[in-house]
């Protein structure tokens, strides 16, 4: 496991507490190569993204998506099986999972859908008008009158 010391970041910056905390969270949540369930993150537009998680074997009722504290949390918990099944080989994973994704400022989930064993979560970045770049007009300064002697 790698360890990163972010204390120089705290000592030499002002107002970046949220960024430093996010880096701490991401680095501490690194589970050393967790690969279940597999997922993709894609950019679908200028301010649009999609997270796709492979959830074969899970029903919509067994999946949960929650946005909290700047994170998108996707979890799944399989309901107990009914009946007396005897598997000769069980290769389809049905273990519980929880995936966390850090979201940037102003990014929110707009919807989710399951299709062919995949869960698609659509996200959009909506920057408020007051934070968007705007052009500042430069006014012409009035001409100075020559000083009277």
CATH of the domain at 121: 2.60.40.790
Q: Is 17 in the same domain as 46?
A: no
Q: Is 106 in the same domain as 92?
A: yes
Q: Is 62 in the same domain as 27?
A: no
* Residues contacting residue 19 through CB under 8 Å, at least 6 positions apart: none
d(CA 112, CA 100): 16
pLDDT exceeds 90 at position 6: no
Domain that includes residue 76, residue range: 36-127
Among the residue ranges 73-77, 91-95, 115-119, 142-146, the one predicted with the least confidence is: 142-146
pLDDT of residue 149: 61
CB-CB contact of 65 with 112 (8 Å): yes
pLDDT of residue 145: 75
pLDDT of residue 86: 86
pLDDT 10s digits, 100-125: 998 988 899 999 999 999 999 999 99
Q: For residue 122, tell me if it sits in a domain.
A: yes
Q: Is 53 in the same domain as 116?
A: yes
pLDDT of residue 131: 79
pLDDT of residue 14: 67
Q: Is 49 in the same domain as 82?
A: yes
Q: Is 26 in the same domain as 48?
A: no
CB atoms under 10 Å from CB of 43, counted, come to 10
Tokens of 34: 């967790």
Q: Is 22 in the same domain as 50?
A: no
Q: For residue 108, tell me if it sits in a domain.
A: yes
pLDDT of residue 29: 59
d(CA 73, CA 97): 10
Q: Is 10 in the same domain as 41?
A: no
pLDDT of residue 38: 93
pLDDT 10s digits, 23-76: 776 666 555 557 889 999 999 999 999 999 999 989 999 999 999 888 999 999
Q: For residue 141, tell me if it sits in a domain.
A: no
Domain count, the chain: 2
Q: For residue 110, tell me if it sits in a domain.
A: yes
Strands (E), 10-96: 39-45, 48-54, 63-68, 71-76
Q: For residue 70, tell me if it sits in a domain.
A: yes
pLDDT of residue 39: 95
């Amino acid at each position: 496991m790698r360890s990163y010391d972010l204390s120089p970041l705290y000592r030499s910056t002002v107002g970046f507490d949220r960024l430093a905390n996010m880096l701490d969270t991401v680095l501490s949540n690194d589970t050393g190569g967790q690969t279940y369930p597999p997922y993709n993150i894609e950019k679908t537009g200028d301010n649009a993204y999609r997270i796709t998680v492979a959830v074969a074997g899970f029903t919509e009722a067994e999946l949960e998506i929650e946005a909290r504290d700047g994170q998108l949390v996707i979890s799944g918990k399989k309901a107990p099986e009914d009946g007396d099944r005897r598997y000769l080989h069980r290769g389809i994973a049905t273990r519980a999972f929880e995936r966390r994704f850090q979201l940037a400022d102003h990014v929110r989930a707009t919807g989710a859908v399951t299709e062919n064993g995949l869960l698609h979560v659509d996200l959009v970045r909506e920057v408020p008008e007051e934070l968007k770049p705007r052009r500042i007009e430069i006014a012409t300064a009035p001409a100075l009158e020559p000083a009277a002697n």
